[in-house]
Structure 1
Amino acid sequence: MMSHVACLPLPKRCEWLADLAVDALIEEANLSPKPGLVDRRGSGAHRDLDLPLMQASALSLWETFRSMAEAAHEHVDLDSTLRETLGALGRQGERTMLATTAGVNTHRGAIWALGLLVAAAACSPRLDPTRIAERAAHIARIPDRGVPPAAASHGQSVCARFGVDGAREQAQQGFPAVIEHGLPVLNASRAGGHAEHHARLDALLAIMTQLSDTCVLHRGGLHALRQTQAGARAVLDAGGSASFAGRRALQRLDDTLLALNASPGGAADLLAATLLLDGLQFMPADIRSE
């Protein structure tokens, strides 16, 4: 059984992690120009979403993320009790989100991904992104007996129909789209001297090239997924979003996704996860050492 180091309660760390999670969601929403997604330009392929709604949704989840972090601190083992507590908190967070958005699903997938990562980081003695992702995967693989019987989500239905992995499997595998693609490209783009928003766009595109995005599949099927992955690869192959050729390829991808009514929402959630893990390096020393 995987255990974390026994420690005193760390309310400052829990609050800081909640801040980091909310900031990651807001920064993902604000990032522009994202193909097919809500950003500062408009609603992308969505008719029921806009940037103020995404921002309000993110802010409404602060208490959820803090509670998840606190729950992880209070348990000696990463066990079924913690898993079920996190599941209950996540479902309450979904209710809070839906109340804020008048029933629009803005961040259900992000609650799952970022909630697990916040819990894993809450009392880990090591803040290495790969280590945190591994701990989150351990939690995600534990069955949650508290899940109420209900109809399958769009993502689960798509996974069954097309035989692909979804958000659940990404978490259970340790977020490979983030660890193997999003973070490395984010860091490589920065090292190449590109502006931060270009580095983040390139990280999003790297995730899109690999992810069987159930949001895209739900809206446009396999054809839309192939167009999404190939279009994202074309941007990176052209030099990334900071290059003239890359920006032209990015515009073509955006046009394609809008024509297909496809939105890579799963990749957007994993970009937020990328930003959260990246942000752990900036945890203040006084909180890190508590």
Structure 2
Amino acid sequence: MALTLRPLQERPTAARPVRVYEPEAIAAIAVECLRREVETWPKPGLVSHVDSGSHADMDAGTFRRSAIAIRPHLRALAEAGASGVAMGRLRIIGLEAEAAMLAATGGVNTHRGAIFGLGLLCAAAGAVSSGRGDSRMSLGAVVASLWGGDILDGPVLLRSHGSEVGRRYGAGGARLEAARGFPSLYEIALPALRRGAAMVADDSEAARVQACFALIAALQDTNLLHRGGPSGLRFAQLAARGFLAAGGVAQRDWREKAHALHKSFVARRLSPGGSADLLAMSLFVQTCETRSVPCPM
């Protein structure tokens, strides 16, 4: 079952939902969230500090080098957002970040999706901090309001996996998610982070695992479609839903069960990279916003 994405709608509130940070601090938070994502285990099929998951060409060290390499560009995106630039300039900075990533990893794509999604959130945080973005809105809603139309109207990368599976299977992918204000962050990831924290006290890794499984269960992850087609996507979603239905990280032996699912993903070469990107992005939003979900209408 594909997730139905819809624009976030928010009403003004007296409380500021987004904290104000300088561009360097915004970039530092973003890189820390990328580090926390790779330090989370077990995540089905994904790279972590424990193993390389379904990937033979990268490991946690590759991700760490990549995160360090793109940090200056994440700062540049925050500065660009603070300056009120158009989407075209953000794309140029994103391409520069991707070039730095590939140089640091020897041509391996570790963070292309994160550069896009997390980069837009960095730009939104910069816009809010400078007063160019509405401080009463979530970062996702700021992205949609400032750049939503241009995100969808921009050029399509013909050789990207997301574009390929979009043409083949009709998947909306990261562009549609961003244009609509990242509803998966606010409707799936952040609530799951809160539930995971309540289930297992003093274990932030458990909360991150809960959020990762919640994202896999709901998303039409283009990375899964690229590697496994519709059958691979269905397998991943059903496996994640089964883990959650059994109690998620509230189960006494949740790590063993999550590890078993991790091995089943690796055996099928499945890797839900889109869910991993959104996990890092949800950690960024959780850090930057004083409230983690939009106000009810």
Number of the residue aligned with 1:174: 181
Q: Given that residues 222 and 274 in structure 2 are in contact (C-alpha distance below 8 angstroms), is that contact kept between their aligned partners in structure 1?
A: yes
Q: Percent identity over the alignment?
A: 38
Q: Aligned with 1:271: secondary structure? A: helix
Alignment CA distance shift 1:146-1:103 (3 Å): farther
Alignment CA distance shift 1:243-1:127 (3 Å): farther
Structure 1 residue 239 and structure 2 residue 239: aligned? no
After superposition, the C-alpha distances for 1:133-175 in whole angstroms (9 at most, x for unaligned) are 0111234423379977863311111011111111111111211
Structure 1 residue 66 and structure 2 residue 70: aligned? no
Number of the residue aligned with 1:86: 90
Q: Aligned with 2:249: secondary structure? A: coil
After superposition, the C-alpha distances for 1:149-206 in whole angstroms (9 at most, x for unaligned) are 8633111110111111111111112112111000011012213343211011001111
108-117 vs 246-255, which moves further: 246-255
Structure 1 residue 262 and structure 2 residue 244: aligned? no
Could you tell me which runs of 5 or more consecutive residues in structure 1 were left unpaired when the two chains were aligned.
1-10, 76-80, 283-290
Query: Which of 171, 179, 188 is matched with 2:195 structurally?
Result: 188
Q: Note the C-alpha offset of 1:244.
A: 2.9
Q: Aligned with 1:49: secondary structure? A: coil
After superposition, the C-alpha distances for 1:211-259 in whole angstroms (9 at most, x for unaligned) are 1111111111111111111111111111113423543432332122111
Alignment of 1:116-265 (within 5 A): 116-124=120-128, 131-143=138-150, 151-194=158-201, 195-244=203-252, 246-265=254-273
248-257 vs 141-150, which moves further: 141-150
Alignment CA distance shift 1:67-1:149 (3 Å): same
Q: Which has the higher contact order (CA 8 A, sep 6+)?
A: 2
Q: Given that residues 183 and 274 in structure 1 are in contact (C-alpha distance below 8 angstroms), is that contact kept between their aligned partners in structure 2?
A: yes
- Matched letter for residue 33 of structure 1: P
- Matched letter for residue 49 of structure 1: M
Number of the residue aligned with 1:100: 104
Q: Tell me, in whole angstroms, the C-alpha distance in 2 between the residues paired with 1:172 and 1:277.
A: 16
Alignment CA distance shift 1:132-1:12 (3 Å): closer
Q: Tell me, in whole angstroms, the C-alpha distance in 1 between the residues paired with 2:92 and 2:58.
A: 26
137-146 vs 96-105, which moves further: 137-146
- TM-score, length of structure 1 as denominator length: 0.85
- Matched letter for residue 148 of structure 2: R
Q: Given that residues 127 and 280 in structure 1 are in contact (C-alpha distance below 8 angstroms), is that contact kept between their aligned partners in structure 2?
A: no
Q: Given that residues 240 and 247 in structure 1 are in contact (C-alpha distance below 8 angstroms), is that contact kept between their aligned partners in structure 2?
A: no
- Matched letter for residue 24 of structure 1: C
Alignment CA distance shift 1:144-1:279 (3 Å): closer
Number of the residue aligned with 1:55: 64
Number of the residue aligned with 2:30: 21
Q: Tell me, in whole angstroms, the C-alpha distance in 1 between the residues paired with 2:82 and 2:143.
A: 14
Aligned pairs, how many? 266
Could you tell me which runs of 5 or more consecutive residues in structure 2 were left unpaired when the two chains were aligned.
1-19, 291-297
Alignment CA distance shift 1:185-1:147 (3 Å): closer
Q: Given that residues 21 and 126 in structure 2 are in contact (C-alpha distance below 8 angstroms), is that contact kept between their aligned partners in structure 1?
A: no
Q: Aligned with 1:244: secondary structure? A: coil
- TM-score, length of structure 2 as denominator length: 0.83
